Amino acid sequence: MGVLEDNLVEIPLRFCDGSVHYYDSKTDAVYSRRFSSGEWYISSYADNIKFQYLHPEEYTQQIEEALKIVNQIELQRKNYYAQFMSKEALLDKHSRNRVLIPSRDLIKDIIDNKHYLVYTGK
């Protein structure tokens, strides 16, 4: 690949494959070396690695913001499903000795509680 090793600074970041990543300030590029074979390559995550190395505070802030958004979505999902009757409650209401009794009320509860759309495993 023609990498001049005297220009490189090791980036203290490892992925699961154990490759070592280096930043070259002259070319403003990230080069990686495979742990197992020692071959040089350009990672598909090179832009992300470079941003994480050059701007660690901003990278951390972006990760924290993304986690907040994910947590908000998860909370909205939980709140959405909390409004519906659980499958256990549906079975208790419309069965005798755990045998489901078909009725219009059962069908109405199934539709109202969206059990025909989502299987939650409960």
CA distances from 27 to 2, 7, 8, 62, 80 (A): 12, 9, 10, 26, 50
| Count of domains forming the chain | 2
Query: Mean of the per-residue pLDDT values for the chain?
Result: 84
102, part of any domain: yes
Summarised one tens digit per residue, pLDDT across range 3-49 is 667 788 999 888 777 889 999 988 889 999 888 888 888 888 899 99
What percent of the chain has pLDDT above 90? Answer: 30
Query: Residues 65, 103: one domain?
Result: yes
- Enclosing domain of residue 48: 5-55
pLDDT at res. 117: 53
Measured distance between the N- and C-terminal CA atoms of the chain, rounded to whole angstroms: 55
